[in-house]
Structure 1
Amino acid sequence: MRHVANIDPEMANGVIAIGGQFTRGVLAGLHEHAEHLLSWSATTTVSLRTRHRDWLVPPTHALWMPAGCPHSVEVFRSGRGYAVVVSPENCPITWTEPTGVLVTPLIRELIVHLDQHQRPHHTRTAAVSLLLSLLEPVPDTTFHVPLPDDPRTRAIAEALIADPADQRDLAMWAAHTHSSVRTITRLFTRETGMTFAQWRTHARVRAALIHLAQGSSVGATARAVGYHKPGAFAEAFRRVTGQHPSVYR
């Protein structure tokens, strides 16, 4: 849903865009901000993790992190990124959960403009107003994997995130957690909104995004996340993201 943002100069003065270089491997532990944060990975790739979700933010997208939401950050590919800091006071965007947005060429130019023009003036106020009005959410499944809470399903999820190529089927995972297939099936659907097979596909695609961002070929990425045939991997990737995996390399 698009927000019509009529921003007064005082509100615009509270919006700051900060650009900088991100180094692969850098990790920021769990923390939160008093302001809203729009994180855009211009040429870097970062992961932002909350208690229930693990978001991967490729250069094509940005993530709106609402004020007061605890999260951690990990950099998977070195490059340049931007953070747009927005004061919650009088902010027209009311999203209460982390929300992904597609970064269009216009949004990209507005963020760069705000980074280069920090001093308040009327054109900056107009840029802030336009930027906030253009932010529209994309489907959550584009680049995040929901994490279940139950200890049994959480253990399975953590294991598959650590090794997405693990080929154990649902029956084997149920035995591993001393549960029944029926119980694990019910828990995955209830806690993630997906079947086990759907969730594993999303986890593999999420892992694939990291490999692709680091320059791996489509074939090597497919093998790394558990697919024997690149064609099957490309089809699964397209179902989740709407794009061929080569777009993200």
Structure 2
Amino acid sequence: MTIFSAHNITTHYGKTTILQDVSLPELKQDQMLGLLGPNASGKSTLMRCLTGEKSYQGRVLLDGADRADIERDVWHQRVATMPQSPPNPTALMPTELMWSTARALDLDFSDTELGNRIEDIFDRLGLDAFALSPLHTLSGGKRQLVGLALALMRDPDVLLLDEPTSALDLHWRMVVLDLVRERLAKRGGVAIAALHDLDLAARYCDQIVLLESGKIIAAGTPHDVLTPDNLARVYHVETTVSVDAFGRPLVQVIRPIHQ
């Protein structure tokens, strides 16, 4: 059964069209979709449309129901977002932020369940040593991990992650995406992540959408999308694409293509 889909998404900033008739592959249980494209391709704008932060024409469906017909509280119980910007560097501690957010969302967990959940997520994301440190003392990467912890705490059906690894080194990028995939395998649901790293997208995503100037250039499996022709068109680089030991596409960038 399809859990999440988006059809014919079009949106503007003023008179400028940012996204034009964008439709995403339908996502079924345990699937992860990666949004790829260069800067200003429309990835973050599309994520803001999916989360409801930006108005759009088109349809966003959850279990076949249009977002416009779903009660706000129900939507926020089932869909969690991780924005591109990490939590603000305030005097609040990560533990305080988690508890206050849980109470504001009226999550249906006992104090014991919520405490255990927060402790487990912090442990997995390497945040346990920073749980009582004010956010303003943490690096951007650590605050980004706190942002992911806030989304995971809710145990949603849909995770919408805007550049979840942008401030992280390679180790923590893989830890984050391993945790998302593990969560999908154990709990079910789907995830959509805007990403920059082609190899991480090939490694973790079941489906990929490649955007350029607010339009879809290619959509499908990593093998369908990560081709030398597509990458030359969108990123203006010459590449070779081989297959790694696990059968996944492996992109090697050779040189820039002068425009």
Global fold match (TM > 0.5): no
TM tier, shorter chain? under 0.3
- The normalised TM-score by structure 1 is 0.26
Higher radius of gyration, 1 or 2: 1
Q: Higher strand proportion, which one?
A: 2
